[in-house]
Amino acid sequence: MIRGVIFDLDGVLVTTDELHYQAWRQVADREGIYFDRTINHQLRGVSRMESLEIILERAGRAYTPEEKSALANRKNHLYRELLRTLTAADVLPGVQALLAELRRRGIRLAVASSSKNAPLILSRVGLKDAFDAVADGNDITHSKPDPEVFLLAAERLGLLPEECLVVEDAAAGIEGGRRAGMAVFGIGTPETLPKVERLAAGLADTTAEGLLGPG
C-alpha cells in the first residue's frame, strides 16, 4: 500500500527546465558549442557536472577539469540569477490541489531532487513547508538514475521503499525510482517517457486516485 508520494522538483512541481536551458545556452554559446532544447531535455534529472559532460560531447576540443569546474560555476551563477525571477506563479498547474488531496488521505509527501538549488527554489515558490521531507543534490553522492535520493527521501519520511510512489518527468528519475524499489508515475508523454505505463501530461491532468489507485 502506498503511504508516501515522492515528487521530483524540476519539471514536476515547478517550471525550472526553461531556466536551466537559458543558463546552459549562454555557457554553450560563449564556448561556440551547439546546444538546443532537445539536448536540454537529456539533462533533466541529471546532475550539473553530468549535464556539462553531455554538452561538451559537441565541443571541438577537450576541456581540463579546471575549465569544466569554471563552466559549471558560471552556469550555476547564471541559473541562480534567473531563479530570482521565480514566484508562486511558477508552481505548475494542479500541484497545490493535488498536494492538498493527498494530505487529506493521510499520504506523506516528499521532494527528491538532483538539484543543489532545491531549497532556494522551494522557498522562492512558497513550497518550503508543503512537504514532510526533502532530499536534494546537497545530500547525495550519486544523482539520478542512482536510487540514492529516493531512498533518502523515503527514510526521511519514515517509510519503506515499497510504501512509496515516485512522480518524475525524467527518464533518469523513473529509472532511479524503479531501482529504489518504488512504484513510479510519469509526467510527460509516451514519446518523452517510453516504457512508463502510468503517465499524465501534468499534475493537473491527474488526481490522488489517479496516482494511488482507488481506495
For residues 185 and 211, is the Cβ–Cβ distance under 8 A?
A: yes
Our measurement of the distance from residue 9's CA atom to the centroid of its chain's CA atoms, rounded to an integer in Å, reads 4
The verdict on 10 binding Mg ion (CB under 5 A) reads yes
Binding at 6: pick from Mg ion, ligand B16, none (beta carbon under 5-8 Å per type): none
When asked if residue 114 is in the footprint of ligand B16 (CB under 6 A), the reply is yes
Q: Verify binding: residue 3, ligand B16, rule CB under 6 A.
A: no
For residue 40, the partner it binds in Mg ion, ligand B16, none, with Cβ less than 5 to 8 A by kind, is: none
- What mask of x and - would describe binding to ligand B16 in positions 51 to 80, judged by CB under 6 A? x------------------------x----
Contact partners, residue 62, CB within 8 Å, separation at least 6: none
Asked if 132 is an active-site residue, the reply is no
169 touches Mg ion by CB under 5 A: yes
Question: In terms of CB distance, is 54 or 103 closer to ligand B16?
Answer: 54
Taking the C-alpha atoms of residue 163 and residue 108, their distance in angstroms, rounded to an integer, is 10
175: contact with ligand B16 by CB under 6 A:
no
Residue type present at position 40: N
**One-letter amino acid identity for 64?**
T
Q: How many whole angstroms separate alpha carbon 118 and alpha carbon 146?
A: 18
- Dihedral over Cα of 16, 17, 23, 24: its sign: positive
Q: What residues line the site for ligand B16 (CB under 6 A)?
A: 8-11, 20, 43-48, 51, 76, 113-117, 137, 170
